[in-house]
Amino acid sequence: MSTSVQRPTKFQNQKLWKPEEIIEILDIEYSRPPQQISKSPIFELILTVLSQHTSDHNSGEAMHHLLRVFPDWQSVLNSPVNVLEEAIRPGGLAPTKSKRIHQILKEIKRLQPDFNLNFLADQPLEEARAWLTSLPGVGPKTAACVLLFALGRPTLPVDTHVERVSKRLGLVPLKMNADKAHILLEKSVKPKDVYAYHMDLIQHGRRTCNARKPKCSECALIKKCPQNGVPIAS
C-alpha cells in the first residue's frame, strides 16, 4: 500500500532546479525531438480534444479515422453526432468527445465561417488564448496546445505529466490546481524555452517520474528534488 505525502521539512529549504537546468539535463536524458509546427490550429484543436484521457496512439487513430470519413470540417459539423461518434471511437469516450467537437465546430462556424484560425498567430497572446478558451469545453491546456503546436507561440500546456513532475520538483505548490499551474510555470520559463520545457517534463513524467511508482533511483533530477507528493510505502 502507498500514500501520497509531503516530504519531511529538511527538503523545504532545498535549492530547486531552474527551468534552464532542467532542460539541459533532460534534453540529454531523452533526446528531445525538434519542434514541428503544424500551422493548422483547427486540426490541433480537434486532435487535442481527441487526446483527452487516452494515449497518443489512440487519439492519432481517432483523428485518422475522422479525416478518412469526412472531407472537411463543414462535413463534420453537418454529420449526425452518432456518425461522428463512430468515426472517432478508437480514441475512447466517443459519445462525449463527438458532442464536444460538434459544439466547438458550431461556435467556430459562427465566428469564422471558413474554419480558418490562423488569425490567432497575429493576435496578442492573451487575446488569442482568451478567444480559444471562449469555445465550448476549451480550457487552458487545450488552448496552449493549439497555440504552441500549431502556431509556435510560447504557451505551456500543463497535462497530468507536467503537473505531477512540476509539483514533485517543487516548481509549483502541491495543492495548486492545473489552471493556476499553467500561469506560474509559463511565467517561470523564457519564451524561447517553452517548447523544450514542456516536452522534457512530459517525457520525464512518462518515463521516469511515473504516477504510482516513480523511478527515483534512476532520476537525473533527484539531486535537487524535494519529492513532494511522491508515494511511499506505508
By annotation, the residues acting in catalysis are: 141
> DSSP character for 14?
P
HSE on the CB side for 165, CA within 13 Å?
30
What residues are paired with 232 via a beta bridge? 3
Long-range contacts from 186-195, C-beta under 8 angstroms, 24+ separation? 186/144, 186/154, 186/155, 186/156, 188/19, 189/19, 189/156, 190/19, 190/20, 191/154, 192/154, 193/19, 193/20, 193/23, 194/148, 194/154, 194/155, 194/156, 195/35, 195/148, 195/152, 195/154
What residues are paired with 96 via a beta bridge? none
Total Cβ atoms within 10 A of residue 3? 9
